[in-house]
Structure 1
Amino acid sequence: MSEAKWYVVHTYSGYENKVKANIDKTIENRHLEDQILEVRVPMQEVIELKNGAEKAVQKKMFPGYVMIHMIMNDDTWYVVRNTRGVTGFVGPGSKPVPLTEEEMLPLGIQSESIVVDFEEGDTITVVAGAWEGTVGAVQTVNPAKQSLTINVELFGRETPVELSFTEVKKM
């Protein structure tokens, strides 16, 4: 099996977030988490001046494009290509071309991974984000997505929550 690379998908203008949501849903439904690792709409913070006041807003770096970190094969190509709002992969003809490391650098997407010592069953505490201060047992570890899942009690029942490696620490 080949390794995962970043590909660029062209979408209808203004459909970037819908395409991301649709692909994320398809990944979940078809259990392609190990083949399509991440779908991203690159954003940058821009200072806008409105009515004399400066305001920081998030703008799309590449309107009309979505970036996908995936292993290219017939299944993943079909899923992405046939997602509503996708007009095609960026590349000559019908052959998608992955981005090079040099092209990835200015986008701020690091390919190096964080090495962690978490295992299923370990007790961790959340140190950042919405669940800060929560303690839980690790249910699953996903090194490809740099995340893990813990169960959190929500409305009287156990609910799985996915957290980034950077948001947790081992107890």
Structure 2
Amino acid sequence: SRFIGESKKPTPLSEKDINLIIEKSEQKAAPKPKISFDVGESVRITEGPFANFTGVVEEYDMVHGTLKLNVSIFGRSTPVEILYSQVEKII
């Protein structure tokens, strides 16, 4: 049907709204960043509250584009989750 809303009071959709919904559903997802980090690799955090800290990659999440790092803060290993774009490899 071409109606939305509560079951007692349906609201018709315009052709424009229908086409917009179809267009959005057909758009391709943004490309996922390629993982260039390995588990156990040391990286430097480049932005955010932990900028300039170094950490060791413990795992990565391709779906969300995040890395889980162990960062030494006040002498203690602390787990930190951060975006791929916020770290760089230590050469």
* TM-score bin (small chain): 0.5 to 0.7
TM-score by length of 1: 0.36
Residues 1:169 and 2:85 are matched in the alignment: no
Partner in structure 2 of residue 144 of structure 1: 63
Question: Which structure is larger by alpha-carbon Rg, 1 or 2?
Answer: 2
3-state SS of the aligned residue for 1:166?
Answer: helix
TM-score by length of 2: 0.63
Residues 1:160 and 2:87 are matched in the alignment: no
> How far apart in 2 are the matches of 1:135 and 1:156?
13
**4+ residue stretches of structure 1 with deviation over 4 A?**
none
3-state SS of the aligned residue for 1:137?
Answer: strand
> How far apart in 1 are the matches of 2:44 and 2:67?
12
- Taking structure 1 as reference, are residues 113 and 156 closer, same or farther at Cα in structure 2, changes over 3 Å only? same
3-state SS of the aligned residue for 2:67?
Answer: strand
Map 1:127-138 → 2, pairs under 5 A: 127-138=46-57
Question: What is the identity percentage for the equivalent residue pairs of Structure 1 and Structure 2?
Answer: 27
User: Any gaps of 5 or more consecutive residues in structure 1?
Assistant: 1-98, 105-109
Paired amino acid for 2:49: A
Are the aligned partners of 2:55 and 2:72 in contact in 1 as well (CA < 8 Å)? no
> How far apart in 2 are the matches of 1:113 and 1:123?
22
How many residues are paired up?
Answer: 67
State the shift of 1:136 in Å: 1.1
Partner in structure 2 of residue 4 of structure 1: none
